[in-house]
Structure 1
Amino acid sequence: MSPTLGADPDWTDPTCPVARTVDLVGDRWSLLIIRDAMDGAASFTEFRQRLGIARNILTDRLRRLVDHGILTTSTAPSGKRHVYELTAAGKDLFTTIVALRQWGERHAFATGEPYSTLTDLTGAELAELSPCNRAGDELRADTTRVRKVGSG
C-alpha cells in the first residue's frame, strides 16, 4: 500500500473497501485515465488527446494517481516528458474496468446501438465476469453479506 494511504480522516467510510476505492479512483476522469493506460496511453499528450480533458484536470488526476500508487512516472528516453505506467495496484484494477465495461454493455446502450468490445489477443470476446465463493458457487447481491469490522 502507498505511504499516502492508511488512516485518512477524509475517507468517506473508513472501514469499507468499496468506499476507499471510490475515494481513490471513483471519479470519471481517474477511471478513464486508468482505462487508457491499460490500452497503452503513457504520456500527458496521449491522455489529453484520447480524453479531451482540460490540462489542469488531467494534471491533477495524474498527480493523484501517482501519489496513491496507481501510476508511476519516469522520464522518457528523450528527457523531455514524463511517461506514466500502471503500477501493480493499477494493473490490479483490470477486473474492475472489465466489470464496469460489461455492466455498460448490458445497461448503458439501447438495443442494437454499437459499442466497442474488449477481446483477448486472439480476438475472442471475454466471458462475463461472475463472482464465486472459494468453493466455486456463483454469488449475487442477495446471496452475500458484508461482515462489519469487529463482528463475527
Structure 2
Amino acid sequence: MQRTKFGDMACSIARTLDVIGEPWSPLILRDVWVGMSRFDQIQADLGISRKVLTERLTHLVDEGVLERRPYDQRPRYEYHLTAKGTELVDLLMVMTRWGDRWLAGEAGPPVLYRHHACGEIGHVDLRCSHCGEPMHANDIDPLAGPGAAI
C-alpha cells in the first residue's frame, strides 16, 4: 500500500508527519536516543520485522534524521541522531509528557528524566521563546505565517 505523502502540504504538522508519522519511526528514534545504535539491538527491542526496520531506517537516514556510520569490515552500520534527529527527540519528550499524564495509570511513568543542568527529575514544559511563560494550546492564536498556502 502506498503511503500518503504530506511533505508538500503547507502545514508544519503534516510535513513532520511525513518524516515520522508512522508508528515505528518515533520508537526507532527513541531507541537510538537511549543508546541502541545497531540494527540488531533495535530489532530485538522493538520486535519489528527486519524488512520494516530496514525501510524505516533508510527513510530516517534519507530525511537527515539519522546518519549511518560503519562499525565493521562487513557492511554493518550504527545509527546515530543528527542535529535534526536530536531536535525531533524534543517532540518525543512532549509526547512522553502527555502519555505519562494521561496513559501511565497507577503504576506511573515508565521512565524518569534527570535534567543535566540541575540534577533533578523533571518533565518537559512548553514555554514561549519570547517571554518564558507557559505556552499551551489555549494560550495562543494561530496566525498565517510567511509559508502559508494562499
* TM-score of Structure 1 vs Structure 2, range by shorter chain: 0.7 to 0.9
SS at structure 1 position matched to 2:122: coil
- Contact kept in structure 2, 1:15 and 1:149, CA below 8 Å: no
Q: Give the unaligned 5+ runs of structure 2.
A: none
The aligned counterpart of 1:132 is 128
**Residues 1:145 and 2:109 are matched in the alignment:** no
For residue 92 of structure 1, report the CA deviation from its aligned partner.
1.0
In structure 2, do the counterparts of structure 1 residues 18 and 111 end up closer, same or farther at CA, with 3 Å as the change threshold?
same
What is the RMSD computed on CA atoms of the aligned residues? 2.3
- Contact kept in structure 2, 1:25 and 1:31, CA below 8 Å: yes
The total of aligned residue pairs comes to 142
**Residues 1:99 and 2:94 are matched in the alignment:** yes
SS at structure 1 position matched to 2:78: strand
The aligned counterpart of 1:119 is 114
Which aligned pairs between 1:1-150 and structure 2 lie closer than 5 A? 10-11=5-6, 14-76=9-71, 78-80=72-74, 81-113=76-108, 115-120=110-115, 124-149=120-145
User: Could you list the per-position Cα deviations for residues 56-93 of structure 1 after superposition, in whole angstroms to 9, with x for gaps in the alignment?
Assistant: 110110000001000011211x2221111111100111
In structure 2, do the counterparts of structure 1 residues 114 and 139 end up closer, same or farther at CA, with 3 Å as the change threshold?
closer
For residue 39 of structure 1, report the CA deviation from its aligned partner.
0.3
Q: Give the unaligned 5+ runs of structure 1.
A: 1-8
SS at structure 2 position matched to 1:93: helix
- Contact kept in structure 1, 2:125 and 2:134, CA below 8 Å: no
User: Could you list the per-position Cα deviations for residues 93-139 of structure 1 after superposition, in whole angstroms to 9, with x for gaps in the alignment?
Assistant: 12111111111110012234562223246863124412225022222
Q: Show structure 1 runs of 4+ deviating over 4 A.
A: none
| Identity in percent | 30
For normalisation by structure 2, the TM-score amounts to 0.83
1:131 is aligned with what amino acid? R
In structure 2, do the counterparts of structure 1 residues 127 and 13 end up closer, same or farther at CA, with 3 Å as the change threshold?
same
- Contact kept in structure 2, 1:133 and 1:139, CA below 8 Å: no
In structure 2, do the counterparts of structure 1 residues 97 and 18 end up closer, same or farther at CA, with 3 Å as the change threshold?
same
